[in-house]
Amino acid sequence: MKFVDEATIFCEAGKGGNGCLSFRREKYIEKGGPDGGDGGDGGSVYLEVDGSVNTLIDFRYQPRYRAQTGEGGSGRDCRGAKGADVVLKVPVGTTVIDVDTEEVLGDLTKVGQQLMVVRGGFHGLGNARFKSSTNRAPRQTTNGSLGEERSLRLEMKVLADVGLLGMPNAGKSTLIRAVSSAKPKVANYPFTTLVPNLGVVSVQPHRSFVVADIPGLIEGAAEGAGLGIRFLRHLVRTRLLLHVVDMAPYDETESAEAVKAIAAELEKFSETLASRERWLVLNKLDLLPEDQRKQVCKELQQQLGWDGPVYHISAIKGEGTKQLCFDIMEWMEARSAEEAEDESLAEAERALRVRMDTEARQKLQALKAARAKKKSDEVDDFDGFDDDDDDEAEVVYAP
């Protein structure tokens, strides 16, 4: 199934049913009085998290949804039936945003969680509602109100504790295969990974965390180079970033320059995300001569001025991965314990994620606007002929 992490839909709730104007009419019963019933409420539209759904692709093919209108009331004080609700299944980690106001309506992170996005119209009142001691035969009724309608943007972000970051072909997919049961495609060429992959790393029984592998970045990704930065949004929910570095790049590029380029792209995308806890994971050391490994790694740290945690691994051989996973688990549990004891830390973490989410959304929207403007300018500049065409050849421009 194709991976789609963003979609725009239009939702319209049902109109409320109208009230009924009716009077009781039975043989041998005089002055039966009003008996017009109320209409039914209009149906609403809900979003519900389904654990079996992992993409928003269905909303690309069917972007409009409308709930059922409530039935009108009838005589004998019969109320109209309520309009049927529409429940749309979305994946875990879906953020719902109002397109017109850019308001975040909800963040769906648990299986079974529901969110009403548009409310159905209120039912109309029948004439029986208006009877009184001075108004024995009322002829007043009310119509049902219109349901709400909204254009919504759905953004899906994978839920993971740890995110892998790095250049294409740095070995991120190989690492996630080595430490979990995930089986992403691995090949010896850049951009093998085209969509995010998740893996559950089990350190010990009942001790595990989730790691996310996203497509690699290159210099200029913030301006749309390569696969761009749109997949970076999947890292805003993570608590720890592992920067995987290729210590034996196939194109003989400098590893230090690659680290700096990725850090710069991360900073352009979200300053808050760039300030997140980040560990350096030096991979593919098995391709270096054993007597040179320590010296090469030391030189890299000196060039970067890196004083954070550093791990030396070979993902394909599994060397150093167990210690890395154990330290990650220890770090995660320590952070969770601190937040459980101090509510202010937990609140600060939630505020940090909201800030990262906002920065990521603003950056992606700005990138989309810039692309749309560039495309529009290219269309405006096209005048229908090319001065460089060969005079002897007839050129036909297809619309």
151 lies in the same domain as 175 = no
175 lies in the same domain as 312 = yes
Residue 170 domain-assigned (yes or no): yes
**Helices 172-179 & 321-341 angle (0-180, nearest 10):** 80
User: What is the chain's pLDDT, residue by residue, as a tens digit (399 residues)?
Assistant: 456 778 999 999 999 999 999 998 877 777 778 999 999 999 999 999 998 888 888 898 899 999 999 999 998 889 999 999 999 999 988 999 999 998 989 989 899 999 999 999 999 999 999 998 888 889 999 999 999 999 999 988 888 889 898 888 888 889 999 998 888 888 777 777 777 888 889 888 888 889 888 887 777 776 666 666 777 888 888 899 999 998 888 766 788 888 898 888 888 888 888 888 999 999 999 888 888 888 999 999 999 899 889 999 999 998 999 999 999 999 999 998 998 898 898 898 888 888 888 888 888 788 778 777 877 777 666 555 444 444 333 333 333
293 lies in the same domain as 277 = yes
138 lies in the same domain as 200 = no
CATH number of the domain that 42 lies in?
2.70.210.12
Last residue of a domain, one of 156, 182, 199: 156
Q: Which pLDDT score is estimated for 241?
A: 92
**The two structure tokens encoding residue 197:** 């992959």
114 lies in the same domain as 200 = no
Q: Which pLDDT score is estimated for 157?
A: 84
134 lies in the same domain as 179 = no
| SS3 track for 128-193 | HHHCCCCCCCCCCCCCCCCCCEEEEEEEECCCCCEEEECCCCCCHHHHHHHHCCCCCCCCCCCCCC
Q: Which pLDDT score is estimated for 248?
A: 84
Q: pTM here?
A: 0.76
**Could you tell me the residue range of the domain that residue 54 belongs to?**
1-156
Q: Which pLDDT score is estimated for 381?
A: 63
Q: Give the Cα separation of 271 and 263 in Å (integer).
A: 10
Q: How many domains does the chain have?
A: 2
99 lies in the same domain as 193 = no
Residue 299 domain-assigned (yes or no): yes
Give, in order, the Cα–Cα distances in Å from 70 to each of 38, 78, 145. 10, 13, 10
Last residue of a domain, one of 93, 123, 156: 156
